[in-house]
Amino acid sequence: MLSARQVVAVIGYPLKHSLSPVFQQAAFDAYRLPVTYEAWEVPPASLAAVLTRVRQSDCLGINITIPHKEAVIPYLDYLDDLVRQVGAVNTVVNRSGVLWGYNTDGPGFLRALAEVGVSPAGQVVLVVGAGGAARAVVCALARAGAERVLIANRTPERARALVALAAGLGQAAVVVPWEPAALVAAGQQAGLIVNCTSVGLRHTPTEAASPLPAAALHPDALVYDLIYNPAETVLLRQARERGARTLNGLSMLLYQGALAFELWTGRPAPVETMRACLEAALARRG
Ligand code: NDP
């Protein structure tokens, strides 16, 4: 039971648009826990000092976002197995001055799929992208028992590295060449198509673009875009127009946060309260 006021924070640099303070605070408030969730903008040079602060008894832990997800690892005492696989931490828990690192992005992705009755087990999955989010997704797919993962990325070396990571986890995976005919063929084979690139993100030069040719999309696929702003990217619109089921990244954001909340508090996350807060915050942003 918490008595004195505690703090939890998200750290990143820059840290303009994080939605974590809004929906995590709502979760603590729903339980009337004396916890304040803050946003700490931490330049790389200050990372060590901030981790010393996190060890203090009034700090339950932190969320970590770009660019610290990998750099934080040397400052932690214990790493969850998934962190060792993905090579990145998004949640730290302070247990009596001992810092534990977790990655809830991949499990959050799986919970988001489970919520709509989808399991990657036995499925051919097309993953587009090979950055940090793609690594978390591919490790989650391996854990969930995907049949085969097809990985397409603009920079082929990064796709090859991700295929090697998957192979190390016993997951069958192949590189898909970054060219229209190969992307179409891969999409047509896949029951689940996941966009892990930033193509389509609001307020970027690719906002009006899709990472895949429309012909890669088909009515038997679930198309999951990790992007949640805009709520419907060009990829998701084209997928919907072609009869596919579509889902945006809001649910992954929600569930990675819900899992972090459960690690800090040991209590079930008030998911519907958190979802309502997220949706309202995004609606305010337009
Ligand atoms: P990274 O910077 O690590 O990776 C970016 C990826 O996008 C790379 O594969 C990169 O390809 C690709 N990419 C960028 N621009 C282009 C382009 N013009 N054409 C083709 N490919 C491009 O970012 P993250 O992996 O951390 O994040 C990726 C996306 O996922 C972001 O939009 C982020 O907001 C979202 N995300 C959502 C989460 C959620 O909870 N819903 C959680 C985490 C991320 P290349 O290797 O060739 O550069």
Q: How many CB atoms lie within 10 A of CB 233?
A: 29
Q: Full-prediction pTM beyond 0.85?
A: yes
129 CA to middle of ligand 1, Å? Answer: 6
For ligand 1, atom 16: residue with the closest CA:
199
69 is catalytic: yes
Question: Is the minimum distance from the CB of 138 to ligand 1 under 6 angstroms?
Answer: no
Residues 88-142: pLDDT tens digits? 999 999 999 999 999 999 999 999 999 999 999 999 999 999 999 999 999 999 9
> Catalytic: which of 69, 111, 135, 218?
69
What is the phi/psi pair of residue 143, to 5°?
Answer: -65, -35
Question: Is the minimum distance from the CB of 257 to ligand 1 under 6 angstroms?
Answer: no
The ligand 1 atom nearest the CA atom of 178: 20
Go through the domains of the chain in sequence order and give each one's CATH number: 6-103+253-285 (3.40.50.10860), 107-248 (3.40.50.720)
Residues 35-84: pLDDT tens digits? 999 999 999 999 999 999 999 999 999 999 999 999 999 999 999 999 99
pLDDT at 2 over 70: no
Please, are residues 54 and 62 in contact by the beta-carbon 8 Å criterion? yes
Three-state helix/strand/coil letters over 147-202: CEEEEECCCHHHHHHHHHHHHHCCCCEEEECCCHHHHHHHHHHCCEEEECCCCCCC
Name the nearest CA neighbour of 151 among 183, 121, 123, 181.
183
pLDDT (0 to 100) of residue 285: 81
